[in-house]
Structure 1
Amino acid sequence: MSRQTARPCLLIVHHSPTGLLNSVTEEVVDAASSAAAEVNATLPAGLHLEVRQRDALRPDADELLAASALLFGTSANFGYISGALKHYFDSTFRQVTGDPGYSARNVPFSYWIRGGHDTTGAQKAMDSITTGYGWTRAADPVCFTGDPAPHIHALREMAENTVGAWYTSLD
């Protein structure tokens, strides 16, 4: 496996089984795509950042290895991340971190969590898991309960800042 890809990619891995979570994901994807278009206007075509989505139930370690930046989205269920996102991490961890060419320290990432009552356990899990992969946090995670409307600006800013972190890493 190789982290090299023909085109840089921001990979957005999420589990969005409800309309509410899907609308949150759409905001993040839209913000990331807009930010990518903005930075792509300053770059040669071969360096244009592509924004891709991956359903957490369909893990792809090669795709994760090739990603230039990462965003993760999940609900908080029973005090933890969704089983789907946990499955994604379980299915890719050994393959990704065991790859001889794996160098994750410069891969910017962030995440969002929407819970019904509490996100504390899910936040701890995400922090532990992403530390294990060795990625570099590019933006403060957005973790909230209830209605996402008051958090849309923060979600969009998280996505934009993650794209920005990738862009500044090119220097």
Structure 2
Amino acid sequence: MPRLLIVAHAPSANTLRLREAAERGAHHPDIEDVEVVVKAPLEAGPEDVLACDAILLGTTENLGYMSGALKDFFDRSYYPVLEEKQGLPCALYIRAGRDGTGTRRAVEGIVTGLRWKWAQEPLTLRGKWQDAFAEQVEELSMAVAAGLEAGVI
């Protein structure tokens, strides 16, 4: 059974809602044959990446960059997975108080270096909190899980 790894930073109630929405989307009733593993970036490591078939990343925008926790995850995982996980399907959502451009650029640079492939376009949730953000993350996660189940990503 293919495994979707969700690594998402959730330092607030709203970002926790986003991580929960990602998990809910991956567990959609129509998706039966995908194992879902959800971890905070400081709990996830290279062994989790090596064991997955796709990854969904979630981060806040912190001073125009990704969260320190997600950066730490990449720092610990980059070299141990570099050769073995090239082509790993990935997706990203960013909770951005401003525009998220620097955050997206930083994650895209690391993803390019790892030679992962985008399964979905990165999703940037800009500005003040909106309940629709959780729905968008749920849809993103559902699309990744469905693609993984169907073998198209």
Structures share fold, TM-score greater than 0.5: yes
Q: CA deviation at 1:103?
A: 4.2
The one-letter code sitting in structure 2 at the alignment partner of 1:69 is A
Compared CA separation, residues 170 and 121, structure 1 to 2 (3 A): closer
Aligned counterpart in structure 2 of residue 143 of structure 1, from 93, 107, 124: 124
Q: CA deviation at 1:39?
A: 3.2
Q: Matched residue pairs, number? A: 152
| Contact 2:5 2:36 (8 Å CA) reproduced | yes
The Cα offsets for residues 94-115 of structure 1, whole Å up to 9 and x where unpaired, read as 01114xxx1431x321010002
RMSD of aligned alpha carbons: 1.8
Structure-2 residue corresponding to 1:43: none
The one-letter code sitting in structure 1 at the alignment partner of 2:109 is S
Unaligned runs of 5+ in 1: 1-6, 41-47
> Which of 15-24 and 144-153 deviates more?
144-153
- TM-score, scaled relative to structure 1: 0.81
Compared CA separation, residues 128 and 93, structure 1 to 2 (3 A): same
Following superposition of structure 1 onto structure 2, how do residues 1-171 of structure 1 map, counting pairs within 5 Å? 7-34=1-28, 37-40=29-32, 48-98=33-83, 102-105=84-87, 107-145=88-126, 146-169=128-151
Compared CA separation, residues 164 and 154, structure 1 to 2 (3 A): same
Unaligned runs of 5+ in 2: none
The Cα offsets for residues 47-98 of structure 1, whole Å up to 9 and x where unpaired, read as x311111110123211111101110001000000000000000000001114
SS in 1 for 2:31: helix
| Contact 1:24 1:148 (8 Å CA) reproduced | no
| Contact 1:11 1:64 (8 Å CA) reproduced | yes
Q: CA deviation at 1:138?
A: 1.1
Distance 1:163 1:32 in 2: 5
Q: CA deviation at 1:152?
A: 3.2
| Contact 2:46 2:77 (8 Å CA) reproduced | yes
Q: CA deviation at 1:140?
A: 1.8
Distance 1:118 1:14 in 2: 19
